[in-house]
Every structure is written in structure tokens, then in C-alpha cells.
Chains A and B, each alone.
Chain A
Amino acid sequence: MPARGALDAVSSGNSSFAASGVWNTMSAAQVEPLVLDAESAIAHGTGTLSIDASQITIMDVAGAWLLHRLVAAGEAAGRPVQVAGLTGPHEVLLEEVAENARPPIAPLPEPPYPIRLLNDTGKAVIDASEDIVGITAMFGQTAIGIFKLILNPSRLRPIAILHHIEYTGVRAIPIITLISMVIGAIIAQQGAFQLRRFGAEMFSVNLVAILTLREVGVLITSIMVAGRSGSAFTAEIGSMKMREEIDAMRVLALDPIEVLVVPRVIALMIALPVLTLLADFAGLFGAGLVSWGYIGMGPDAYISYLRNIVGENTFWVGLIKAPFMAMVIALIACREGMSVGGSAESLGRQTTTAVVKSIFVVIVLDGLFAMFFSAIAY
């Protein structure tokens, strides 16, 4: 049984109340309704309001505040107020609370729904345009940064670049090769299964080889890297932003673009093509296993068949895209990291945004490349 406080009307006419028991934070939930009732009674009464507080045993700031509310209600009704029987410390407390009481701030009224809708739409459009400008600006700054490096290679940060290559590239090898192998196998299996009806099972190898090398290898790799490393870039840069480390760099005359963004962009532009290459091999390997099992094409036959059908260009079409994918992933991730605000929540939000945006842009970019390569018939 928690300690309780009480508030009783002593006489009729709403002029005299007796407060007793425990008036503290723990009993506030129980005392508050009593105070609410008394407040409306006080507002309707007239004459001197007297509150006998001599039976209050324990009081803290929350209790004093509730008592103060009674006093304030009396004063608001234009009645003289007397509080009697408070012990010394409780009296000090009541004074302290009264001194710090402030009129409640009225919350701003919410605009009506149509206005809010327009407001949000406008904001979204402006955000999108700012995004495009921001990414373009960062692209420009990064390009300048890389250009400066070419003029002055001693500013290159090989250790940072190698570090990022290790984390974004080397450590991603197992998962990316595994996934590519499985996807290669699935495409080969589905292809063989469908084409068998036409007696054209062999063509399942054409299907899987061209698809993997031109599209799937690089797409799967880019999407995996966007999820794995894009989110890491945003979180790293974002938490530095939150702790004012980026500001510290600026005042120490270190360019954050040069220190943080350029090494990441370069590292990813090296790591992603290599990962794509491995993904291609893994995909073809998975497809080879399935072809062996499903259509009885042994390894030797599979490899010489591949040699016949896959032109050098098929291989390059996939690989050429990889550095571009790497660049947009790294730029989007770094830019989202730079726009993290002061809160943990915004770090989470920006990380999610970075991954979603970079996957979206990777797929759109792949579509544009497809149109481009078919236009030049490569």
C-alpha cells in the first residue's frame, strides 16, 4: 500500500480545506484528482480561502506544486488565500515553487488539413531539389578533391583507402560470392526447366551467362554493397557530425571532403569492380553446377560452350558499370551522413534513407546503361 495524501473540504461554502498525509511524487497521481475537484470548487466559492496543511507529513516539489495549484486557483478567483500549518521546510518549498510557477504556454494551433497537405508537398519538392543540388555539389567537390590528389599525390591517404577497401571489399567477398552463386544456380535451373519443353535446354547456359555478366552480377553486388557499406558510411560520418568532429576538422583546416569522402569514394570504386568480377565468376560457377546436374553438361563442355557464346563485350558491359555504381553509392551515403542532425533518431533516419536512395539510384542507373548499350549496339 503506497503512502497516500488526502484533501478534505472542512466546511461548506468552499472556503476551508484540510490537506493531510503524503504529498509527494509517488502519491501525485492519487492526489491530482482531489486537487482538480477542489480547484473547481474553489473557483465557485467566495470569501477567504483557508487551507490547513498541518497534517501533511511528507512533501516534495510535486506535492508543493499541487498545493500551489490550490492557492493559484483561489487567487485566480479573486479570493484572499491563507495557508496554515506548514512546517518550515515545506513553507520554503511552497515559496520556491510559487516563485518558479509560470503561466502555461498555449500550444500553437495546427493548420487545417488541406494547408498541411500543401505544406508537406511543398517541403517534399524542396527537399528533393535540395537533394539533387547537394549530391551534385558533393560530386563536384569530390571531383576537385580527386583532381587535387592527382596534382599532388602526396596528399593521398593510402592507409584510409586500404582500410575502407578491407571493410567494404575484402570482408564482403564471402557473402557476395555466396549470393551470386546461388542466384546463378537459380537462374540456370529455372532456365533449363522452362526451355526443356522446347528441347532447348542448352540455351539456359546462354541465358544465365549473358544475364549474369551483363546485369545480375553487378546489380546484386551493388545492392549488397549499398546495404552493407553505404549504411556504414552514413553511420560513421553521421556520428562524427553529431559529435562536432566534422566542425573540428573544418577549423583545423582539414577538408572533410578530402579526409572522409574522397578515400571512401576511391576505395569503393576499387572494391566494387573487383567484387563484381568475383560475383560474375561465382554466378557462372553456380550455373555450371546446375547445368552439370540438370542437363548433364560436364565442366569441360560448359567452359568451351561459354567461350563460344560469351563475347568479350558481354563481360565488359557488366564491369564498366561497377565504378559508376560505386561512385553513386559512396556519394549518396556520405552526403546523407553529412546531413545528420543532432539526434540519434536523425542518424537512424539518414542511414535508412541512404540505403533506400542508393539502391534506387543503382537500379535506375542500370536501366540507363542498358538503354545506352543497346543504342550503341555494344
Chain B
Amino acid sequence: MDMSANDYAISCRDVTVSFGDHKVLDGLDIDVPRGALLGFVGASGAGKSVLMRTILGLVPRQGGTIDVLGVNLDESNEAERSRVEKEMGVLFQHGALFSSLNVRQNVQAPMREHLDLSQQLMDELADLKLAMVGLNPDAGDKFPSELSGGMIKRAALARALALDPKIVFLDEPTSGLDPIGAAEFDELIAKLSETLGLTVFMVTHDLDSLISTCTHIAALGGGKILVLGDPKTVMAFDDPWINRYFHGARARAVLGGVAAREQD
């Protein structure tokens, strides 16, 4: 490859993670180009969430190096690491909203910590982000325990976008959303990725978002990346699991629908 390391938003080499004897990631390599909207697939329990948490530095790894935005987080100094951390936004699989803050305060929490904005501007920005992710105005005053599953996802996305990061990690953002909401969610992410040059690392099982919004798809299996490329390449890839994933009955239904929509 002729791309230099700096052209990648995320670049992992030989990453190994195990829990006890259970090896979840086994010498995994992945390069995510800047500005990519990467859909990440893999069987349940394959280690998608673990890889995401490893890149974020939340899970200790037994070996390998990880570069984020061209910065090796192990070797960099405190200031550089903190700069890169501000450039990453995360939506955890279960939301992980702060339960003692209301939704608006949740979105403001990173702003309060890292920026020196007036309360008025923080309120405005928080309300703006909540509107952008499709929450009603009154949701801002609710506490996480008072939200529905889909609202939690949206609020968590608004918090992930609070600092206008360069990379967002989304762990199953559209699971638990109604299909209309999920489509809007995909549209929003695609729009942000286009206009802001956002790199998106999205773990998803939603075939619709994989095929209609992702620019790249990566598949995880056996602790390694099986394949990474544009959707057509990945779907054509010769691997039994991928074949069943993209050419099973459910996939055919979705793919047929997408093809029909494209012909209209």
C-alpha cells in the first residue's frame, strides 16, 4: 500500500487480547482510512465490542500497536494523548449515559470538561445536538432512567458528538430503533461524515445501514479481520460466514429492497 500511516484514522498492528485462556483478538491488523464510514460486522461474541474498547484503551491488550489519527497512544505524551482523546466520540452498546445527570447535562459534560464556553452557548449546542439526533425538545430534561431504549441511543450519540470529534465509535447504534428512526440515524451519520469529514467506526448488524450508508465494511472472525473493503468487494468475498451473512434469506430480502429502491 502506498498510503502513509497518517492517511489512516485508525491503524492497528498485530493486536492480541485475551481474557484468561480465551483469546478474543489474535494478531489483528486493521487500517481505517480517514473519512471512511466503516461498518463492522461479525458474529455475536466475535469480539467487536472488545476491539472497539481496545482501540479506546479501555481493555488491556497483550500485544500489538494502535495508532489513532497518526498518534501512537502508547508512546505519545500526555498532551498529545489528551488532544486525540478529544477527537474521539463513543456510543457504547448500552448507552452508558451518566445516570445522575439529565440528558442535556450528559451532552454538556464533555464540553464543560474540555471547553470554556458560556452556559448559554452550551445549552444551545446541547439542544442543537439533541435536535440533530432526533430527540424532542423535552427529552433534554429527562434522566436516563426515564428514556426508552431508542432514546438512550440517540442521547448517547448526541453526547458522542458533543465535541465535534474526528472519529466516532458507534456500537450497534441502530439496534433498538424503529426502522424509520434507524434510517434517519443512518442519514445523519452519513451527512456528518460527509460534511465534517468524520471517520465512523460502526459496529452494526443492520444490513440496511451496512449496504445503504457504509463506504467500507470490515468483517471480524477468528480474532482477525477477514476482509475490509467497499460493500461490493466484501459481499463478493469467498468465506462461508460472509456468504451466509450477506446471502441468507434475510439479507436477500434487504438487498432486493435496496436494489429496487435504487432503480426508482
Contacts and interface: CB of A to CB of B under 8 A. Distances in A.
A312 interface: no
Interface of A is mostly: helix
Interface residues of A, number: 29
Interface string A331-356: 00000000001111110000000000
Contacts of B145: 242, 341-343
A100 B131 contact: yes
A105 interface: yes
A342 B146 contact: yes
A102 interface: yes
A105 B128 contact: no
A29 B125 CA distance: 12
B131 A101 contact: yes
B137 A105 contact: yes
Interface string A223-257: 00000000000000000001000000000000000
B195 interface: yes
B263 interface: no
A343 B116 CA distance: 27
Contact of A92 (B127, B137, B194): B194
Contact of A93 (B99, B146, B195): B195
A168 to B, nearest CB: 28
Given A101-B131, A343-B100, A28 B117 contact: yes
B100 A96 contact: no
Given A32-B121, A104-B123, A25 B100 contact: no
Interface residues of B, number: 30
Contacts of B146: 342
B115 A342 contact: no
Contacts of A61: 125, 128-129, 132, 161, 164, 196
Interface string A78-97: 00000000000110110011
B118 interface: yes
Contact of A62 (B123, B125, B143, B197): B125
B195 to A, nearest CB: 4
Interface string A98-139: 001110110000000000000000000000000000000000
Interface in A19-43: 24-26, 28-29, 32
Interface in B10-44: none
Given A25-B163, A101-B131, A343 B195 contact: no
Contacts of A29: 115-117
Contacts of B196: 60-61, 89, 93
A102 B124 CA distance: 9
B58 to A, nearest CB: 19
B144 A104 contact: no
B191 interface: yes
Contacts of B116: 29
Nearest to A66: B121
Given A62-B125, A343-B145, A24 B164 contact: yes
Contacts of A343: 99-100, 143-145
A93 B195 CA distance: 6
A102 B163 contact: no
Nearest to A35: B121
A105 B121 CA distance: 14
A62 B164 contact: yes
A100 B194 CA distance: 18
A345 B144 CA distance: 12
Contacts of A104: 123-124, 127
A65 interface: yes
Interface string B166-189: 000000000000000000000000
Q: Most chain-A Cβ atoms within 10 A of its Cβ — which of B117, B131, B164?
A: B164
Contacts of B131: 100-102
A24 B114 CA distance: 14
A342 B99 contact: yes
Nearest to A101: B128
A212 to B, nearest CB: 44
Contacts of A102: 127-128, 131, 137
Contacts of B161: 61
B137 A342 contact: no
Interface string B123-162: 1110111011000010000011110000000000000010
Given A25-B115, A343-B145, A346-B100, 20 more contacts: A26-B115, A28-B115, A28-B121, A29-B115, A29-B117, A32-B117, A32-B118, A60-B164, A60-B196, A61-B196, A62-B164, A96-B132, A96-B191, A100-B131, A101-B131, A102-B137, A104-B123, A242-B99, A343-B99, A344-B100
Interface of A: 24-26, 28-29, 32, 60-62, 65, 69, 89-90, 92-93, 96-97, 100-102, 104-105, 242, 341-346
9 contacts: A29-B117, A61-B125, A61-B128, A65-B128, A69-B124, A100-B128, A102-B137, A342-B146, A344-B98
Interface of B: 98-100, 111, 115-118, 121, 123-125, 127-129, 131-132, 137, 143-146, 161, 163-164, 191, 194-197
The 6 closest A-B CB pairs, nearest first, are A342-B145, A345-B100, A100-B131, A343-B99, A60-B164, A89-B195
